[in-house]
Structures are given as structure tokens and as C-alpha cells.
Amino acid sequence: MTIDPEFLDELDRFEASLEQETTANKQGERESPSVGEGLTFSDYRRYAPGDDTRLIDWRLYARTEEFFIKQFEEERNLTVHVLLDASGSMGFGDGETKFEFGAKLGLGYAYLTAEEHDDFRFSVFRDRTDRLDTGKSTRGEVLALVDRLNETVPDGETDFQTALEAYAASIRSRSLVVVITDGIGDLDGLETGLASLSRNEVVLVQVLSPTELDPDVGGDTIFEDAESDLTRRTYFGGRLAEQYRDRVDAFVDDVATRARDLRLTHELVTTDEPFFDAFATIWVD
């Protein structure tokens, strides 16, 4: 792998533009503070002299003629979980592979999450997940992740269901889960795995090579399966090429439909897109 960490420096400019776009909304929230803002309701307790009267639940008083105070718990910081497909098919690409492009997208999430003083977790997965971060959630940790990702070789097949279900069971706090994959494999398993994550906010980023969407080949061609040793020699052109493109379009639509049915966000990006254009498409602030 050859991920160059210099692209992280330019995320500072991206962050600055995001702050300009969201200042109005965030400022609006600050201009009308209320008791319990940023807090999660926990329980009631009886009012005692000296308690903040703004915390009295007047609707409950109307029903019971007794004073009760609302109690709140501080919301935990958002944890961002990046799950990057490291199966063999992700090693495909013209110039930049799907794995490299997807890794940069995931690193972008990790970097901006650290800048916002939230926590991130970064893992790769095949038939199980392997966590790469050490829990520090800092810029230095993101740089260390670049080295670990450059040492990762995409190979083998993906078991979406097993990997994602096991990971979902480990999540214990309010979370955003970013799943980055080409989606190649058992789509029923992918759907089941995503469903297990759906109690969180989930962004499914589907990364494909432009060559996969529209192969620039013709005539007698040998096709290789990136996740196995299978090859197939055929004449690619005319009706067969048209059928191939129809099947690829149907595949992408199928993945998008399954995500939509689970009420998840699905974004398709291709490895020939400018990185920051692609990242702006998938970023959820």
C-alpha cells in the first residue's frame, strides 16, 4: 500500500470550510440555552428547597400536585467507528486501489473526529474485524494508522454477517459507524450485518473502481476473481458488455436499496474521484 499522509494536512482546510457552513446552526443552539441542553433525561426526584425551579416538571405537578425535579445524565461523546473491508477484491484498482481510497476516506473521518475531541475506533475486516488503533484518538494516532494500513494487504473473502454482527455486539456508547466496502460478496450477509449495526447511525460507503463500472476492454479477455484463483476467458463486447453493465448497475442499486430499507445512509464513490469531493459526499458532521 502507498497511502501518503500528506493529504491529512489539507483536511484542516476542509474542517475550516465545514465550520463556516455549520456556524449558523451551532450558534443558534448556543443563543437559546435551556436547562438540560446537551443532556439526556434520566429520572425524577422530589423537589427539595434550593433546587433549580426551572427543573420542575409542571405537567407532572398538574397531574400529581407534587413537585418533581427532572434529572439528567451527560451525554457521552460520540464515538466514530470506521470499519474498512480488507478482502481481496478491495485490492483492485487502476492506480489507486479501492482499499487505498477507502482507507483515506476512513482516515479522514478519524482525523476530523479527533479534531472535534471525540473518540474513534478504526478496524479492518474480512471474516472478522481487526482493530488497528490503540484508543488514543489523536492526530498522532491517525498518522500511526497510515503506517498500519500501508502494511495491510487486502486478501481473502469477506464474511459480512459474521464480522459486522460481532462488531455490533461490542459497541457500548452513542456511535456513528462508517462501513467502507465494495459490497462484493454475500449481499444477504451484508444486509444482516448492517441490520445488527442499525441501532447506531450508519454510513455505508461503497467504493468501486471506474473499470468495474465500465470496463475499458474489448475482444478476447481473461477475467480474474480477486478473492479466489478463478479465471474466465471470454469475448467481451457487444451484448455481453451491455449485460455486464446492466448487472453492475443492478448490483449497486441492490446495495443502495438494502441500505435504504434499513434507514442507513448509502454513498457510492469511485476511485477516480478527487478525494475531497468524495469525502465531502460521505462526511456526516
Q: Are residues 69 and 104 in the same domain?
A: no
Judge if 244 and 168 occupy the same domain: yes
The domain in which residue 247 lies consists of 76-282
Domain match, 51 and 138 both = no
Whether 9 maps to a domain, the answer reads no
How many DSSP H helices and E strands does the chain contain? 9, 10
Residues 49 and 91 placed together within one structural domain of the fold: no
Q: Are residues 267 and 171 in the same domain?
A: yes
Q: How far apart are CA 149 and CA 84, in angstroms?
A: 10
Q: What is the model's pLDDT at position 228?
A: 56
How many Å apart are CA 101 and CA 272, to the nearest integer?
9
Indicate whether 19 belongs to any domain: no
Q: Is residue 5 part of a domain?
A: no
Instruction: Give SS3 for 55.
Output: helix
Verify that 151 and 58 share a domain, yes or no.
Answer: no
pLDDT confidence of residue 63: 80
Q: Which three cell numbers stand for residue 186?
A: 454475500
The CA distance from 248 to 251, in Å, is: 5
CA dihedral 241, 244, 248, 254 (to 10 degrees): 140
* d(C-alpha 112, C-alpha 104), whole Å: 12
Classified as helix, coil or strand, 17 is helix
- pLDDT for residue 173: 84
134 and 104 co-located in one domain: yes
Tell whether 96 and 62 lie within a shared domain: no
Handedness of CA 132, 135, 137, 140 (dihedral sign): negative
| Distance spanning both ends of the chain, measured CA to CA | 29
Q: Both 106 and 207 in a single domain? A: yes
Report how far residue 53's alpha carbon sits from residue 57's, in angstroms, rounded to the nearest whole number. Answer: 9
pLDDT at 216: 65
Supply the pLDDT for residue 113.
92
Domain count, the chain: 2
pLDDT of residue 37: 45
**Tens digit of pLDDT per residue, the chain (285 long)?**
689 988 887 787 777 766 655 444 444 443 333 444 445 556 777 888 877 777 788 878 888 888 888 766 544 578 999 999 999 999 998 789 999 999 999 999 999 999 888 999 999 999 999 999 999 999 999 999 999 999 999 999 999 999 999 999 999 888 999 999 999 999 999 999 999 999 999 999 999 999 888 766 555 455 555 555 666 555 445 567 778 888 899 999 999 999 999 999 999 999 999 998 899 899 975
Pairing of strands 201-208, 265-270: parallel
Q: Is residue 155 part of a domain?
A: yes
Q: Which residue among 30, 50, 75 closes a domain?
A: 75
Where on the phi/psi map is residue 185: left (φ > 0), alpha (ψ -120 to 50), or beta? left
| Same domain for 233 and 133 | yes
Q: Output the domain CATH number for residue 174.
A: 3.40.50.410
CA distances from 25 to 14, 18, 37, 39 (A): 18, 12, 15, 18
The answer to whether residues 71 and 135 belong to one domain is no
| CA distance readout (Å), 245 to 113, 252, 272 | 37, 11, 18
Domain limit, last residue, from 24, 59, 75 = 75
